[in-house]
């Protein structure tokens, strides 16, 4: 009989938490309970599939996608937007008064396109950490990496119901938007417009997941710290990209980074070794 890995237990605990708070926020809260049961059953079943260990290594990715879509159930029909009206003033100071937007656009389309690519690649962080574990012959640390990643990513999702908010590109479409339109920006706007959720943008899960992956890599692959620090540098670029592209507020970024720090103790609590693959 398979035992749940630490990352799987963390994911299951998250879905149970969402099921417990759901009656206070959404109609038909029973859906969250069904999803929690389904996630637990899915982890158990994939644990039985001994011939395909990679399936278990990737299972947390599908749990993360389910958690993301579940948060759309918590979309509020209306909120007073008092938080966003303060946050957008902070963004104006950073982008306009301190010149961040002008600096990014000073090279024409080059930097705006690069930052949009950085934003687009966030969706691949989960599979990337598994691939890095395999390529560096640290497959035994996959669960540790997932635990760090989930601690930051699900930690951000867990706060969404308490901070209903709309992204600046939607709520303030004429305030400090990029003046350069690129092909990759059109792609990103299409994705977030058609497949994004609308419950909250605070904290930024893009930022928390990127930094969490970095902390997990630093802990799991200490002999090649350049990999972890490269991911951390990428996370900094993600932070800049989401503010410049008006996908998030600066406040979201700061909160996302703060949430990512929980990945460090979470990863350190997981023993790295053969037991991780049990």
Provide DSSP, 96-153. IIS-HHHHHHTTTTHHHHHHHHHHHHGGGHHHHHHHHHHHTT-GGGHHHHHHHHHHHH
- The span from the CA of 60 to the CA of 58, in Å, is 6
Model confidence at 150, pLDDT cuts 50, 70, 90, reads very high
Q: Give pLDDT, residue 1.
A: 57
What's the average model confidence in pLDDT over 232-257?
A: 97
Give the CA-trace dihedral at 137, 139, 141, 145, to 10 degrees.
Answer: 110
CA distance 120 to 177: 18
Q: Which of 178, 183, 174, 170 has the alpha carbon at shortest distance from 241?
A: 178
pLDDT at position 131 over 90: no
Instruction: Give Cα separations from 142 to 50, 163, 176, 207, 237 (angstroms).
Output: 16, 32, 41, 21, 25
pLDDT, position 51: 66
Q: What is the mean pLDDT of the chain?
A: 91
* pLDDT at 127 (0 to 100): 87
Question: Are the CB atoms for 270 and 145 separated by under 8 Å?
Answer: no
Q: What is residue 149's predicted lDDT score, i.e. its pLDDT?
A: 96
The Cα-based distances of 94 to 88, 91, 165, 250, 262 in angstroms read: 10, 5, 20, 8, 27
Helix axes 205-220, 142-157, angle to 10 degrees: 160
Question: What is the spatial distance between Cα 194 and Cα 179, in angstroms, rounded to a whole number?
Answer: 22
Task: Judge contact between 126 and 64, C-beta under 8 A.
Answer: yes
* pLDDT above 90: residue 101: yes
Average pLDDT for residues 129-137, to the nearest whole number? 81
Residue 113 has pLDDT above 90, yes or no: yes
SS3 261: coil
Does 276 score more than 80 pLDDT? no
Show the DSSP H helices in 167-247 as ranges: 168-171, 183-195, 205-220, 225-244
Query: What pLDDT does residue 275 have?
Result: 39
For residue 142, give every residue at least 6 positions away whose Cβ sits within 8 Å of its Cβ, in sequence order, or none. Answer: 57, 130, 133, 134, 276, 277
């Amino acid at each position: 009989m398979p035992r749940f890995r630490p990352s799987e237990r963390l994911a299951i605990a998250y879905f149970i938490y969402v099921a417990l708070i759901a009656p206070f926020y959404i109609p038909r809260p029973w859906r969250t309970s069904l999803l929690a049961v389904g996630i637990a059953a899915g982890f158990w079943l994939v644990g039985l599939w001994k011939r395909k260990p990679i399936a278990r290594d990737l299972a947390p990715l599908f749990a993360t996608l389910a958690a993301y879509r579940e948060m759309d159930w918590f979309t509020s029909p209306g909120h007073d937007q008092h938080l966003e009206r303060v946050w957008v003033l902070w963004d104006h100071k950073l982008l306009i008064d301190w010149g961040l937007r002008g600096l990014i656009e000073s090279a024409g389309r080059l930097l705006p396109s690069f930052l949009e690519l950085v934003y687009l690649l966030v969706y691949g962080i989960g599979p990337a950490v598994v691939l890095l574990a395999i390529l560096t012959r640290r497959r035994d640390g996959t669960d540790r990496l997932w635990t760090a990643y989930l601690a930051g990513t699900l930690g951000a999702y867990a706060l969404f119901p308490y901070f209903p908010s709309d992204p600046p590109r939607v709520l303030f479409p004429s305030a400090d938007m990029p003046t350069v339109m690129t092909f990759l920006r059109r792609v990103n706007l299409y994705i977030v417009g058609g497949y994004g959720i609308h419950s909250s943008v605070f904290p930024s899960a893009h930022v928390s997941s990127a930094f969490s992956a970095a902390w997990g890599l630093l802990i799991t692959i200490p002999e090649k710290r350049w990999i972890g620090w490269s991911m951390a540098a990428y996370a900094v670029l993600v932070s800049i990209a989401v503010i410049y592209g008006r996908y998030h507020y600066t406040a979201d970024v700061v909160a996302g980074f703060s949430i990512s720090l929980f990945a460090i103790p979470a990863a350190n609590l997981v023993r790295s070794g053969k037991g991780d693959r049990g």
